[in-house]
Amino acid sequence: MPRMRAVDAAVAILEMEGATQAFGLPGAAINPLYDAMRKHGGIRHVLARHVEGASHMADGYTRAAPGNIGVCIGTSGPAGTDMITGLYAAQADSVPILCITGQAPVAKLDKEDFQAVDIAAIAAPVTKMAKTVLEAAQVPGVFQKAFQLMRSGRPGPVLIDLPIDVQLTEIEFDPDTYAPLPVVNPAATRAQVEKALDMLAAAERPLIIAGGGVVNAGAEDLLVTLVETLQVPVVPTLMGWGAIPDDHPLTAGMVGIQTSQRYGNASFLESDAVLGVGNRWANRHTGGLETYRRGRTFVHVDVEPTQIGRVFAPDYGIVSDARAFLALAVEVAQERRAAGRVPDRREWVAACAERKGKLLRKTHFTDVPIKPHRVYEEMNRAFGRDTVYVTTIGLSQIAGAQLLHVYRPRHWINAGQAGPLGWTGPAALGVATARPEAEVVALSGDYDFQFMLEELAVGAQHHLPYIHVVVNNAYLGLIRQSQRAFDMDYQVSLAFENINSAETEGYGVDHVKVAEALGCKALRVKDPEDLPAAFGKARALAAEHQVPVVVEVILERVTNIAMGVELDGVNEFEDLALSPEDSPTALALLD
């Protein structure tokens, strides 16, 4: 039996499990693992500037393509605690990432050794497994189990903590006979599928909710086949956006109290039956549950049994992997269509389509400073169907989700539930690492951008080009808008007179200079008519220099973006589009 250090076995397993891209920072307690990666040569590594940033890079890398599992590596103590936000973001959105930390020697645990912290206990609530390995011989089994857990059921992150003496201990391990543990997911039975489709068939105005579980399961094609067979309109959730193209005739629009379209909410409120597949009934989607549930029957399909009934009790629940459910649902639906047993939905489909042409928000504003709506209009013009958008939370994300278009799965990459500020830039670097051929466009407000902006240097060092659109109103815009309920505007302004950059005109931080200082290219736009040229130049600069390019757009200081607390009570602050000229890139008005 071959003998090797435990870290050499761990690196061999990473390669055999297909996790060959790592992001992280070395340190004394994790240097043995870095030595093993150096000697092995098969694990690519991106050197981050902050371990939290590395965890978000691993997150973005995983989300970018089916089957990816990003790896984040850090030393003992604060490196592990820095990972917690990244683990939380991944766990909340069902994203498998593997975090590996160094640790003090086993004999020093519980002795308050330098940078020795019980990271497994800290990470346990935001992982599927968090374990400090105390016996070197357990290392292969722990890594093997980690990959099985990350891929089984509801996907999620794992943290493995390796004391330095455990890393260095020699163990028996034969890479030639290693095999990943089987991944088994629950699958719907035919009887369950029949009942779910019966409930849809009994309704007059049914909808299907496509959640992130559809994307995680790689079941987008099956979803489209099912809805085309049944002629039932689809509502993608924020995490499922792209599972069906925005311009598909059966796309009803997104529903929610923030990231939604007016027509999506209107169609949902007219519905009488809802089939949710791989979704969580997130509160930003549902708003108040009394309004959301009133007059509708619900079927919920989810791979995780404890998700059924967590937010509200559905009329019928099915524990199943989304792909397994949709594959069998397609089979049953096609049998029913062949037998003439599929209800005629033409009137309902036409009504949903009509709303898409009438209930559109205006985007074409010519104001200076720029209104944010115009930015997304020009982004729709500038960036094509294959663009991969990356964003987290803020008014920028909310307005972007209301007005941008997404046509493919994994082309809207969003920290949906946790929404940590600073996630966007590092995650975009992870996406660019995973998909170097893709056009990656990040979207941030100025506050999100200022969190972790040091990671721009990673893009410059490792030649990871992407375009980062920063809409700058020098405000914590979403918090300022929520403070309206308290009749205050308190501690949310980021504006100041920058003594080194008069050109910022009171907007404070000079993002152009910061980006350039970190080795990137940057542009500033103050007039909406200059946006097309700026996006074109950004694309050219990214291609020429192979570095991130920041496009800072100076917005009006105060803009309120449509949102509310109930689906039937979303506050609209701007005019409805009355003509194609008011919203020229809206899909329904292009025909």
Q: Are residues 123 and 227 in the same domain?
A: no
- The CATH number that applies at residue 14 is 3.40.50.970
Compute the half-sphere exposure of residue 548: CA atoms within 13 Å on the CB side of its CA.
37
User: Judging by DSSP bridges, how do beta strands 170-172 and 3-5 pair with one another?
Assistant: antiparallel
Q: Are residues 442 and 549 in the same domain?
A: yes
> Structural domain tally of the chain?
3
Please report the pLDDT score of residue 579 as a whole number: 87
Looking at residue 393, the DSSP 8-state letter turns out to be: S
Neighbours of 438 (CB within 10 A): 17
Q: Are residues 330 and 413 in the same domain?
A: no
Give domain status of residue 551, yes or no. yes
Q: Are residues 383 and 339 in the same domain?
A: no
Neighbours of 539 (CB within 10 A): 18
Q: Are residues 553 and 519 in the same domain?
A: yes
Which residues make Cβ contacts (< 8 Å) with residue 364, sequence separation at least 6? 373, 374, 377, 581, 582, 583, 584
pTM: 0.95
Determine the structural domain holding residue 488 and report its residue range: 372-561
Q: Are residues 451 and 507 in the same domain?
A: yes
Give domain status of residue 428, yes or no. yes
- The CATH number that applies at residue 273 is 3.40.50.1220
Please report the pLDDT score of residue 590 as a whole number: 38
Question: Among residues 328, 358, 388, which one ends one of the domains?
Answer: 358
Q: Are residues 141 and 208 in the same domain?
A: no
Burial 132-155, CB ≥16 within 10 A → b, else e: bbeebeebbebbbbbbbbbbbbbb
Q: Are residues 377 and 353 in the same domain?
A: no
Amino acid making up residue 424: T
Q: Are residues 138 and 231 in the same domain?
A: no
> Tens-of-pLDDT digits for all 591 residues of the chain?
799 999 999 999 999 999 999 999 999 999 999 999 999 999 999 999 999 999 999 999 999 999 999 999 999 999 999 999 999 999 999 999 999 999 999 988 888 888 789 999 999 999 999 999 999 999 999 999 999 999 999 999 999 999 999 999 999 999 999 999 999 999 999 999 999 999 999 999 999 999 999 999 999 999 999 999 999 999 999 999 999 999 999 999 999 999 999 999 999 999 999 999 999 999 999 999 999 999 999 999 999 999 999 999 999 999 999 999 999 999 999 999 999 999 999 999 999 999 998 899 999 999 999 999 999 999 999 999 999 999 999 999 999 999 999 999 999 999 999 989 999 999 999 999 999 999 999 999 999 999 999 999 999 999 999 999 999 999 988 888 888 989 998 998 999 999 999 999 999 999 999 999 999 999 999 999 999 999 999 999 999 999 999 999 999 999 999 999 999 999 999 888 888 888 989 887 534
Q: How far apart are CA 401 and CA 391, in angstroms?
A: 10
* CA neighbor of 508 nearest in space, from 517, 521, 499: 499
Question: Among residues 147, 177, 207, which one ends one of the domains?
Answer: 177
